């Protein structure tokens, strides 16, 4: 493994960092009371990765087993207890636990604890996941054909698990 090809060719560096304070409001609020913070989108990282903070309220929530063909997904639990599906089974994960899932790896997550939970979700490369996150609110009102097209457009392939 080697370093990737350079993508910056200046001689002195540049001021280009993006800071988001801990108290910033989430970019997306969920009906269940949680929210998603778009820490680094694929658009803001030139497609290198996408990093999101996923805050879950006390109501059970989260996607069942699925996989992606185009990207890996990683989970790092910040607080609470999150059920993570690693393809073989569901595991209870707590602060500091981490799960990496390569493209094609079956995974899912849920908060079933009755308590708030929070985690970081990292996608690589950085796909436009914001449209998926914002669109899942409309899934219950979609026809089966619309759901299938929505999930296909956002590289979500559901499986039994």
143 class by beta-carbon count within 10 Å (0-12 exposed, 13-18 middle, 19+ buried)? exposed
pLDDT of residue 99: 98
Q: Is the pTM of this model over 0.85?
A: yes
**CATH number for the domain harbouring residue 121:** 2.60.120.10
Predicted confidence at residue 117, as pLDDT, reads 97
Neighbours of 101 (CB within 10 A): 20
Domain assignment present for residue 15? The answer is no
How far is 91 from 85, CA to CA, in rounded Å? 6
For 66, the domain range is 28-158
In a domain, 23, yes or no: no
- The pLDDT value recorded for residue 32 is 85
Report how far residue 161's alpha carbon sits from residue 105's, in angstroms, rounded to the nearest whole number.
12
pLDDT of the chain, 161 residues: tens digit per residue: 999 999 999 999 999 999 999 999 999 999 888 999 999 999 999 999 999 999 999 999 899 999 999 999 999 999 999 999 999 999 999 999 999 999 999 999 999 999 999 999 999 999 999 999 999 999 999 999 999 999 999 999 999 86
Check residue 46 and give its pLDDT. Answer: 94
Q: How many domains does the chain have?
A: 1
Residue 4 lies in a domain: no
- Tell me, yes or no, whether 21 lies in a domain: no
């Amino acid at each position: 493994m080697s370093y990737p090809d350079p993508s910056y060719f200046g001689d002195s560096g540049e001021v280009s960092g993006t800071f988001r304070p801990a108290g910033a409001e989430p970019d997306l609020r969920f009906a269940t009371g949680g929210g998603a913070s778009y820490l680094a989108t694929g658009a803001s990282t030139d497609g290198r990765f996408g990093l999101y903070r996923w805050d879950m309220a006390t109501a059970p929530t989260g996607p069942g087993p699925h996989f992606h063909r185009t990207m890996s997904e990683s989970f790092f639990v910040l607080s609470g207890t999150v059920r993570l599906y690693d393809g073989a089974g569901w595991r209870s994960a707590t602060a500091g636990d981490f799960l990496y899932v390569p493209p094609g790896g079956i995974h899912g997550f849920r908060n079933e604890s009755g308590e708030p939970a929070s985690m970081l979700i990292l996608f690589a490369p950085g796909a436009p996941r914001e449209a998926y996150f914002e669109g899942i609110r409309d899934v219950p009102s979609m026809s089966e054909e619309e759901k299938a097209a929505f999930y296909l457009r956002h590289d979500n392939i559901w499986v039994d698990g």
